[in-house]
Each structure stands twice: as structure tokens, then as C-alpha cells.
Amino acid sequence: MADVEDVKPVIDLTLTLDPAEFYGEDLAGCPAWPVIHPMNPDPLMIRAGDAEKRIEQIREQLHPGDGPLREPSGAERQSLRERLFTEERPVGFEHPDEASWRARHGIGGLIPRDQSQVRRLNLIVEACHVWGFIEKTRLQAERGASAKVTADRARSEHELQRCISSHADYVAEYETIKEAAERHRQRCEDERAFHRSREILRNVLPGLAKGARDAANDLGVEPPSLSEVA
């Protein structure tokens, strides 16, 4: 029996078709997945990893018992396509499988070469759709992340320029009002000093003088001579 290391990988049939050929290089034309049908009534219920799980399910059906798989080369992919599909049809006639694949997966121009293989071909066409959806989702996420980075940078640059400009404006404004502000501060201090001096003259000093006289009288001594403030 050959060692496991001697087992040669076989071509992964889920990669028979190139999604970019049918949906465009940016895969913008790839329809949503999963296709709405009784088993998947709500495409909004899809969760992260569901598409990858579907690819694994398709692989298991296309490669029952097969060993390791590998990606086909460009020539191998073309050979597989020519062996499994044809584009020949009567003029003005759309093959029912072609119509179904176009409607369900957005993939047109393919007709089964062997009707006995339609079940496998359905899986291959679906795999192309799922791979396209996976890659489209990845590209959208990358573009979204890139757009966010760009937007964040633009906001930061705008904030930087706003702060620099505003700082210069406020410095210029301050230079025009600082003397008036100093005069106002001095007036406020003068006003506080005025009210405090009046409080001392009217209440504090007379109160202390009276307190001293009363205490001296209680002691039977001469009241102290306290300095007066003019």
C-alpha cells in the first residue's frame, strides 16, 4: 500500500469555474448567497462561515473518498470546462439547465455536455457562485476597512488643520483683548479690595476695639490704646 505521502492530490472540482469570468474581476455581478429556496427561506439568516461550510459540503459530494485536493492550473480548468460543458445550442433556444443556472447563480452560457452528469454540474456551478460570494464579501470587507482608514485619516487631518487655524485665530484675538482683560481684572481686584476695606473699617476693627474694652473692664484694667485707621 502506498504511503500517505505518495498520494497525489486531485483537482478540486469546486474550482472548475472561475467566478471572475462570470461576475467580473471585482465580482460586483455576483448575486447574493444563499439562493432563496425552501431550505434557505431567508438569505439574511446567513452567518459567518456558512459559505465556507457549503463549499465543504459540495466537496464531500464531488470527491467522496478522495484524498487531498489541489487548485487546478489555468489549462486544467479550461480542459475541465470543455469536457463538462458546451456552449452549443439551437439558435434562439436556451437550455433549461442553462436557464436555471443563470436564474439561480447568475452564470450563463453553460450547457451540460452530458445530461447524466447534471447533478455534479449543478454542484460545480453552485460552487462557482459560492466561491464568488466568498471572495466578493472579502473584497467588500477590505474596501470597507480601507475606506474607514481613509475616512479616519481625513477626519484627523481636518481636525489637525482646524486646531492649527483656530489656535492662530484665538492667539490673534487674545492679543487684541488682553489689555482690556488686564484692566478688568484690576477693576475686579480693586472692587474686592474696596469692599474688604469697608468691611474692616465698619465692622472688624470696631468689633475688636469693643471686645478689648469689655475684656479690660471685666479685668479692672485700663483699656488698651488701639491704633486707628484713617
Model pLDDT for residues 156-172, shown as the tens digit of each residue: 999 999 999 999 999 99
Q: For the chain, give the mean pLDDT.
A: 88
Amino acid at 171: V
Residue with cell 436564474: 103
**Contact yes or no for 127/14 (Cβ under 8 A):** yes
Residue with cell 470587507: 141
**Rounded distance between C-alpha atoms, residue 60 and residue 65, angstroms:** 8
**Which secondary-structure segment (H or E) carries 11?**
strand 10-11
Closest CA to 137 of 81, 69, 55: 55
What is the pTM for the complete model shown? 0.63
Residues 6+ apart with CB under 8 A from 201: 229
Q: What's the whole-number mean pLDDT along residues 80-101?
A: 84
Closest CA to 115 of 130, 132, 95: 95
pLDDT at 93 over 90: no
pLDDT in tens, 4-43: 556 789 999 999 999 999 999 999 999 988 875 555 555 5
Residue with cell 469692599: 195
